[in-house]
Amino acid sequence: MFIITSTWSSVFIDAIFCTVCNFGERARPSGTPRATGGARARKRFIVKILSELKEVGQVEQDDVDQEMEDRWLGSRLRQARRKRGMSIRELGGKAALSTGMVSQIERGLSTPSLRSLRLLANALEVPVSYFFADTPASKKERRHIVRSHQRKRLTVPSTGVVQEIISPEGPGSIEIYEIQLEPAATSDGEMYSHDGEKAGLVLSGTLGLRLEDEDYLLEPGDSFRFPSTMPHRMSNPTSAKVHLIWVVLGQIRSIDDGK
């Protein structure tokens, strides 16, 4: 049996993605309007194929999960950018990111850092949770309730940080996350700041928190709050995982994603 390792998983998934998309285009008669929901149907088909391959051990699960997360995030970024009539260059300039970086993220070829994701969200005037993979739930319920098994998750392998959004999608100025930091993980390679306020509570492990030029170590039960304009970075300086609740207070926003 041919095993697809991490080296080949991206090539393999690209091949499936392109094949399915091209088939959808060939199957549509000339002059026929593009069917609504076609992209979603193709995505479900791709996920079904990959899930079946994972079950028989032909694709490594972590590689596939990350590939699909990156593609989801990229499609959401492209959707938000186009809805606002912005070019990739314009978005990159507004977010202080290179055009090449924005393009790679949109195509699912690069996983953005938490800092980059925040910059993109601010530039597009959407909450960071807009980029998290979606989960099934009634539209009415998810504006006020988040079930534990329906949380949206974002993984950034390069930093060792996993974020789950635990605040509902309804309009508001507060975003609440449960964050896990792997040993030696850091929120980003550099300090960053933006408008708003942040607060949190350490659930387990030892959290390293740098605020401007001061370093702090927080233990389970310790909490914090600071203005987001203060340069900051969080990290895990130990060999055990860290879990914490992270609260972001910013301007009031609603998620307008065309649903």
Domains, the chain, ranges and CATH? 131-253 (2.60.120.10)
Give the pair of three-digit tokens for residue 135.
């989960």
pLDDT at 21 over 50: no
Listed in sequence order, the residues at least 6 apart from 60 whose beta carbon sits closer than 8 Å to its beta carbon are: 4, 5, 6, 9, 54
Which neighbouring-strand residues pair with 211?
A: 214, 232
Distance CA 174, CA 222 (A): 21
Distance CA 216, CA 192 (A): 17
| Residue written as token pair 């998309």 | 21
> By the 8 A CB rule, do 12 and 4 touch?
yes
Mean pLDDT of the chain: 75
Give the pair of three-digit tokens for residue 100.
């090449």
pLDDT at 234 over 70: yes
- Give me the phi and psi of 17, to 5 degrees please: -60, -50
- Note the pLDDT tens digit of each residue in 135-193: 555 567 777 888 888 788 887 777 788 889 898 876 778 889 999 999 999 886 556 66
Amino acid (one-letter) located at 227: P
- Note the pLDDT tens digit of each residue in 102-143: 999 999 888 887 788 888 988 998 877 787 766 555 567 777
> By the 8 A CB rule, do 16 and 50 touch?
yes
Distance CA 178, CA 246 (A): 6
pLDDT of residue 8: 41
Q: How far is CA 223 from the centre of its chain?
A: 25
The pLDDT of 93-110, averaged and rounded, is 91
Q: How far is CA 14 from the centre of its chain?
A: 20
Element (H, E) at 117: helix 114-124
